[in-house]
Amino acid sequence: MSSKMEPASAGWLSDDAFHQVIAHTPLISLDFVVTNPQGEWLLGQRVNRPAQGSWFVPGGRVRKDETLEAAAQRLTRAELGQAIELAHMRFLGVYQHFYADSMLDPGLSTHYVVLAYQVSRALDLEALPRQQHDRYRWWSPQAIATTEAVHANTRAYLPAVSTPVRT
């Protein structure tokens, strides 16, 4: 693997460079607690590390020089199939996620600083992208609170989430 960065327009680091970032700094990400009119949450079963195999809310990393608004639109388009503006979301707070592994190395821990947002949307589960999650389903808050397959970092959002946000 090369340690050279990919072209800046790609917005991504080489695997070697990204490994160094994960090893030495926290990552900034956005998580989206998507709720439907019944108050259920959209969770996907994670395909990749960290949290592989767990049920988790959609989200992803913020790129350098990317505004939070641009990141939200890029990530919601990639994870939900439609770009959603931050103005149509409710800020839930800042969270920290610690994982024993990382997407590049099962022996390298990952630390995320997460800005969590709630958004209400009716979505067709069959039409959702499958890059990060191989299955999706709507979960009641009660099931999220009591199901071990739901990742603890997703359950941490329970106290902050209110009734569905109208957009």
Tell me the Cα Rg of the chain.
Answer: 16
User: Is position 44 annotated in a ligand binding site?
Assistant: no
User: Is position 118 annotated in a ligand binding site?
Assistant: no
| Distant-in-sequence, close-in-space partners of 67: CB < 8 Å, separation ≥ 6 | none
Nearest Cα to Cα of residue 11 among 65, 53, 78:
65
How far from each other are the two terminal CA atoms of the chain, in whole angstroms?
A: 45
User: Is position 81 annotated in a ligand binding site?
Assistant: no
Rounded to an integer, what distance in angstroms lies between the CA atom of residue 27 and that of residue 18?
Answer: 10
Q: Yes or no: say if 41 and 139 are a contact pair by the CB < 8 Å rule.
A: yes
Binding site for Mg(2+): which residues? 59, 79, 132
Binding site: which residues? 59, 79, 132
